[in-house]
Amino acid sequence: MTATSAQPESSAAPPGPTSRRKVLQALSGLMMGMFVSILASTVVANALPRIITDLQGSQTVYTWIVTSELLAMTATVPLWGKLADLYSKKLLIQLSLGLFVVGSLIAGLTPNVEILIVSRVVQGLGAGGMTALAMIVMAAMIPPRELGRYAGIFGAVFGVGTVAGPLIGGLLVDTSWLGWRWCFLIGVPFTVLAIVLLQRTLDLPVVRKEVKVDYLGAFLITLGVCTLLVWSSLAGNQFEWASWWTAGLVGGGLAVLAVALWVESRAAEPIIPLSLFRNRTVTLATVASVLVGVAMFGGTVFLSQYFQIALGKSPTVAGLMSLPMVFGLLVSSTVAGQLITKWGRWKGFLVAGGVVMLAGMGLLSTIDGQTGTLLLSVYMAVLGVGVGMLMQNLVLAAQNDVPAHDLGVTTSTLTFFRSMGGAVGVSVLGAVLANRITTLMTEKLGPLAAAAGGGGSGGEGQAVPDVSQLPAPVVRIVQDVYATATAELFLIGVPLTALALVAVLFIKEKPLNTLSGTERLAQEEAVQLPAH
Work out the average pLDDT over 496-516: 82
* pLDDT number for residue 11: 40
* pLDDT number for residue 429: 78
* pLDDT number for residue 455: 46
State the DSSP H helix or E strand holding residue 363, giving kind and residue range, or none if neither. Answer: helix 347-364
Q: Poorest-confidence range of 24-28, 197-201, 205-209?
A: 205-209
Residue 465: band (very low, low, confident or very high) from pLDDT cuts 50, 70, 90: low
Q: At residue 204, does pLDDT exceed 60? A: yes
* pLDDT number for residue 100: 86
pLDDT tens figures, 211-233: 566 778 878 887 887 788 778 76
Angle at 184 between CA 233 and CA 221, to 5 degrees: 40
pLDDT tens figures, 26-80: 777 788 877 877 776 677 766 777 788 787 766 667 667 777 777 787 777 777 8
Of 305, 286, 66, 105, the residue nearest 186 (C-alpha): 105
* pLDDT number for residue 382: 92
Strands (E), 172-221: 205-209
* pLDDT number for residue 255: 95
Q: How many helices (H) and strands (E) does the chain have?
A: 19, 2
Question: What percent of the chain stands above pLDDT 90?
Answer: 8
Q: At residue 6, does pLDDT exceed 60? A: no
Q: How far apart are the C-alpha atoms of 332 and 387, rounded to whole Å?
A: 8
Work out the average pLDDT over 345-368: 89
In a 3-state reduction of DSSP, which class is residue 84? helix
Work out the average pLDDT over 229-257: 82
Residue 236: band (very low, low, confident or very high) from pLDDT cuts 50, 70, 90: low
Kindly state the greatest CA–CA separation across the chain.
81
CB neighbours of 342 closer than 8 A, spacing ≥ 6?
A: none
Q: How far apart are the C-alpha atoms of 416 and 528, rounded to whole Å?
A: 30
79 alpha carbon, distance to own chain's centre: 16
Q: At residue 441, does pLDDT exceed 60? A: yes
Residue 176: band (very low, low, confident or very high) from pLDDT cuts 50, 70, 90: confident
Q: At residue 289, does pLDDT exceed 50? A: yes
Q: Are 208 and 83 in contact (CB under 8 A)?
A: no
In a 3-state reduction of DSSP, which class is residue 485? helix
Residue 252: band (very low, low, confident or very high) from pLDDT cuts 50, 70, 90: very high
Question: What percent of the chain stands above pLDDT 70?
Answer: 79
Residue 118, CA atoms < 13 Å, CB-side half-sphere: 10
271 alpha carbon, distance to own chain's centre: 19
Q: How far apart are the C-alpha atoms of 382 and 327, rounded to whole Å?
A: 10
Q: At residue 361, does pLDDT exceed 70? A: yes
Residue-wise burial string across 494-520, b where 16 or more C-beta atoms lie within 10 A, e elsewhere = bebbbbbbebbeebeeeebbebbbbbb
Burial environment of residue 399 by CB neighbours within 10 A (0 to 12, 13 to 18, 19 or more): buried
Q: At residue 332, does pLDDT exceed 60? A: yes
To the nearest 10 degrees (0 to 180), the angle between helices 20-42 and 89-108 is 30
HEC assignment per residue over 14-81: CCCCCCHHHHHHHHHHHHHHHHHHHHHHHCCCCCHHHHHHHHCCCHHHHHHHHHHHHHHHHHHHHHHH
* pLDDT number for residue 532: 45
CB neighbours of 175 closer than 8 A, spacing ≥ 6?
A: none
Q: Poorest-confidence range of 150-164, 237-251, 309-323, 332-346?
A: 150-164
Q: How far apart are the C-alpha atoms of 2 and 341, rounded to whole Å?
A: 37
In a 3-state reduction of DSSP, which class is residue 235? strand
* pLDDT number for residue 453: 54
Range among 1-10, 46-55, 370-379, 458-467 with highest mean pLDDT value: 370-379
DSSP 8-state assignment for residue 408: H
* pLDDT number for residue 4: 40
Work out the average pLDDT over 277-284: 87
- What is the third-level CATH fold of 18-214+268-517? Growth Hormone; Chain: A; (1.20.1250)
* pLDDT number for residue 251: 93
* pLDDT number for residue 162: 67
Of 58, 116, 136, the residue nearest 416 (C-alpha): 136
* pLDDT number for residue 363: 92
Question: Which comes out higher in pLDDT, residue 493 or 423?
Answer: 493
Range among 121-130, 242-251, 395-404, 407-416 with highest mean pLDDT value: 242-251
Single-letter amino acid code for the residue at 237:
N
Work out the average pLDDT over 444-456: 57
Single-letter amino acid code for the residue at 19:
S
Q: At residue 309, does pLDDT exceed 60? A: yes
Q: Are 253 and 231 in contact (CB under 8 A)?
A: yes
* pLDDT number for residue 280: 87
Q: At residue 462, does pLDDT exceed 60? A: no
Q: At residue 451, does pLDDT exceed 80? A: no
Q: Are 135 and 410 in contact (CB under 8 A)?
A: no
In a 3-state reduction of DSSP, which class is residue 449? coil
- Domain limits, the chain: 18-214+268-517, 215-267
For 4, left (φ over 0), alpha (ψ -120 to 50), or beta? Answer: beta
Question: Which comes out higher in pLDDT, residue 115 or 317?
Answer: 115
Burial environment of residue 364 by CB neighbours within 10 A (0 to 12, 13 to 18, 19 or more): buried
Sign of the C-alpha dihedral computed for residues 302, 328, 354 and 157 taken in this order: positive
* pLDDT number for residue 167: 74
Q: At residue 504, does pLDDT exceed 60? A: yes
Q: How far apart are the C-alpha atoms of 93 and 84, rounded to whole Å?
A: 9
Q: At residue 209, does pLDDT exceed 70? A: no
